[in-house]
Amino acid sequence: MSKSESSHAEGGKGEADLPPSAADSKGAPPSNTAPTNDISQELDLKILRYAVDSLYVSYQGELSDEWESRLRNLKALAQSPDPREQAKAQLKLFDHVFEVKGRGKGKFNYVLADGWFHIQVAGQNAKTIPMAYVQLSSELLTLVGLEESIKLLKPIINTIGKASAPNISRIDPCVDFVCPIQMDGWTREAWVTRAHNIDSHSVNGQFSGWSIGQGGIIIVRLYNKTLELQKSKKDYLKPIWSRAGWNGSEEIWRLEFQVRGQAIGEKEFKQLPVMLALLDSLWDYCIKDWCRLTLPNLTDSRRTRWPTHPLWLALSDIDWGGLETVPLMKPRKDRAPSDESLFINGLGVITSFMAREGIEDWSEGFGEYIAHAKAFHDKKGRNEFSRYINKKLAEKQRRFNTKNNNPSRGLSIVDRLDQAEAYRKAKNGE
């Protein structure tokens, strides 16, 4: 996305915690009003999905001596100038094959990544930050659910150190919907918000959405999800949308609030079970108090009195108490490219070669491409082509989490027993 306009919003403070009433609303019935249903019908608004799309959690605790040493060695492998050694920078934990990065991130010394979890781990000398900071993938959260995803993460964290229950560092509730309203049909003055920055965006000249409060503790995004999907390739959402009534061609928009831990306030609110019970309150606060889309009344200088836009009224009425996950497919732990990337984008090199060589038969083109590639690499040395292919294969296996290139550095029998015990405890809720 490319920024096309920005401004400072008027009215309200820059940052705020959840209102004190949030704790009192725990377990309260959701607020549903008939007028909103009428508004939805008038707008021809169709809600396809509402969910927590992103979740970041942190674990207080301490990394064990053994795991500090093991992660340090794997990180050193990732930093090796030898690609064969780099390919061995992997960690197998349970049925995960994590890539171990050659660099830490911020104050965290080590980074492990696969298709489900992006785990940042602090060294033993780090005293002011959590032992681990974890991003759970959107696909995992969508197809498995929040609570089950945390259960799957627990034995991994408990294996590498002693950790407390997770606290929420960031949570992104969102709603996907179809509506014929033109989302750039209002000016930035229509946004009444506590945030400072209001930006509109476009992709190749096409309006793609709004972002409000970039860099703050709460960020609001209203954007064209079908347009974004062309880049992200999150096709696992399509059957979920279809099940909710999407016809496959309608333009889907997403309203999303990115809420950092500082905005959640009290420590007890950051505990996952408490936050799940308070999602209604969090959504209400974000969509009613933090940022509101209005129908500007230029005769009234107090912008807080401007009436709320009908679209915003309809989106504010989601019952988060009814949040559930209906798995349609199993999330993948690996990060391998999609069929589209392999068999559409990947063929670009082959067709370019065929065009250069004047070849029109695809079977001849494939064969000639391999022959030319082998000759090109073998000029550098005997069997260089085979070595090059094996090196690249190992690199991709590490990056895509599809094979453990380092079985010799697997866990000892004692480690495996410890893992089994950690898994049993997590499964039983201990």
Give the confidence band of 16 by pLDDT, cuts at 50, 70, 90.
very low
Which pTM was predicted?
A: 0.78
Segment 322-355, tens digit of pLDDT = 666 555 567 777 777 777 777 777 888 889 988 9
In a 3-state reduction of DSSP, which class is residue 138?
helix
Q: Answer with the residue of higher pLDDT: 28 or 225.
A: 225
Domain edges within the chain: 2-58+169-322, 61-163, 339-400
pLDDT reading at 229 higher than 60? yes
Segment 350-379, tens digit of pLDDT = 899 889 999 999 889 888 888 898 888 888
pLDDT at 8: 37
pLDDT reading at 79 higher than 60? yes
**Furthest C-alpha separation in the chain:** 81
| Mean pLDDT for the chain overall | 83
Three-class DSSP labels, 364-404 = HHHHHHHHHHHHHHHCCCCCHHHHHHHHHHHHHHHHHCCCC
Give whole-number Cα distances, 73 to 107, 161, 195, 244, 414, in Å.
Answer: 18, 17, 44, 48, 19
Q: Between β-strands 218-224 and 96-100, what pairing exists: parallel, antiparallel or unpaired?
A: unpaired
In a 3-state reduction of DSSP, which class is residue 215?
coil
Q: What are phi and psi of 82, to 5 degrees?
A: -90, 115
In a 3-state reduction of DSSP, which class is residue 269?
helix
Segment 279-313, tens digit of pLDDT = 999 999 999 999 999 999 999 999 999 999 999 99
Q: Between β-strands 110-113 and 197-203, what pairing exists: parallel, antiparallel or unpaired?
A: unpaired
Segment 241-272, tens digit of pLDDT = 999 999 999 999 999 999 998 887 766 678 88
